[in-house]
Structure 1
């Protein structure tokens, strides 16, 4: 009984303090505090061995090649835009709306060249740039651009109402490129389209050039439109590299 009293006193004292303190300071009353300490160490060692090493959780990706985009309305030479769209409403182009010009930008030109009794020629040219950063979870900027090239190409090929769709590899334009030629009937006229989907490093360049003849004017030929699209696309791709020098 004399040995029990001090033990009872300690139990009552522990009961009077917060639970977290009881666990920390009073749980070893049974006399086997050493085994409790060893258990904690075992748990810590188990947790440490289960935790993945930095090499298991960190994925190294290739750095993005380009950090900037060119100014879209200046990416294609003025002489080229004047040739492809002779009577553009806005000679210097109309910039696309963008909330982040470092990641996406664009510009377009359109106009109607009135040839009097010979009818009129309508032309439209537009270019868009998309830049992708490297991300450990999503892949390198180059890989992301490649993935989106395939998606954008599919969108062009699936243009509603498009006929005579022909897709070919476009050589000499960036790291990889596809050209899509097709025709589309709208405003009671036959429009001829030439679209280029190209990738240079981590940047995707989308270019479309189209035209139609109005009031009896001759419809532009497929080669005329596609050659114009290819020329403009080459300049747009070159502008990306120039912007990052």
Structure 2
């Protein structure tokens, strides 16, 4: 009877406490199994201490799982002299009656990262009209950035895509076409189209290429004036690709 009375009193006490307390404290005659029972059930709640322990464990594992790889230095440390990236012979062939055979350098505040040059000429054939040509080449070089977690080639690849998008977004372009190009750097594409301006129909070809951590963009366009027939996109593309190969090759030569 001494054992029964305390047990009965305990049952009566548990009958008036909240259900959650019954589960945790009154489900057994012995208090030794109450904690282990909730731990074994998948649906049982976790205490703040146990949840915090699991969260901190996951946090500790995250840096290890996302450990950054080694960022290697960019392959090319400098750019070529842009106005010498395309040979004088090529310039003379692509831009007849060139105004300045030495070219006009682009203005830049960082010659180690950006460079450019352009040539233009108007070949006046009298009663047969005139032929106008413009040639432009631009270089952009990217360093490896450990803080950004990317090497120079990766950054150049991103900008290569952006330069292609810019070439495709030419306002007023007609019959725009894009084609992959092999043999010019690590990757390259041509963007060609027609464009009406200055009361003449121009043909445009842009070659965008990437060689390691350098992006090279070459644009060649032209038209005929005073009744002269302008160049076809196909003819310009052939010459533009040849000039682009020279420009891309000049990057490696400048870094020897």
Deviation at 1:62, TM superposition (A): 2.9
Say if 2:86 is the partner of 1:85. Answer: no
Alpha-carbon distance in structure 1 between the residues aligned to 2:206 and 2:72? 29
| Unmatched 5+ stretches in structure 1 | 1-45
Structure 1 match to 2:108: 98
**Cα RMSD (Å) of the superposition?**
2.0
| Unmatched 5+ stretches in structure 2 | 1-55
Say if 2:201 is the partner of 1:194. Answer: no
Report the more deviating stretch, 135-144 or 212-221. Answer: 135-144
Alpha-carbon distance in structure 2 between the residues aligned to 1:138 and 1:225? 40
SS at match of 1:238: helix
Alpha-carbon distance in structure 2 between the residues aligned to 1:125 and 1:169? 21
Deviation at 1:58, TM superposition (A): 5.5
TM-score when normalising by structure 1: 0.77
Deviation at 1:63, TM superposition (A): 2.2
SS at match of 1:181: strand
Deviation at 1:103, TM superposition (A): 0.5
Say if 2:242 is the partner of 1:227. Answer: no
Alpha-carbon distance in structure 2 between the residues aligned to 1:121 and 1:53? 63
TM-score when normalising by structure 2: 0.73
Structure 2 match to 1:22: none
Asked if structure 2 preserves the Cα contact closer than 8 Å seen for 1:138 and 1:144, the reply is no
Match of 2:136 among 113, 121, 126: 126
Structure 2 match to 1:16: none
Deviation at 1:57, TM superposition (A): 6.6
Deviations 1:12-45 (A, max 9, x none): xxxxxxxxxxxxxxxxxxxxxxxxxxxxxxxxxx
Which stretches of structure 1, 4 residues or longer, exceed 2 Å deviation after superposition?
A: 52-59
Deviation at 1:112, TM superposition (A): 0.6
Structure 2 match to 1:216: 227
Deviation at 1:54, TM superposition (A): 9.7
Alpha-carbon distance in structure 2 between the residues aligned to 1:59 and 1:105? 31
SS at match of 1:133: coil
SS at match of 1:146: helix
Deviation at 1:53, TM superposition (A): 7.8
Alpha-carbon distance in structure 2 between the residues aligned to 1:171 and 1:165? 20
Deviation at 1:228, TM superposition (A): 1.1
The structure whose Rg is larger is 2
Classify 1:99/1:54 alpha carbon distance in 2 versus 1 (closer, same or farther; 3 Å).
farther
Aligned counterparts, 1:161-200, within 5 A: 161-200=172-211
SS at match of 1:227: helix
Classify 1:56/1:166 alpha carbon distance in 2 versus 1 (closer, same or farther; 3 Å).
closer
Alpha-carbon distance in structure 2 between the residues aligned to 1:190 and 1:230? 21
Asked if structure 1 preserves the Cα contact closer than 8 Å seen for 2:98 and 2:122, the reply is yes
SS at match of 2:71: coil
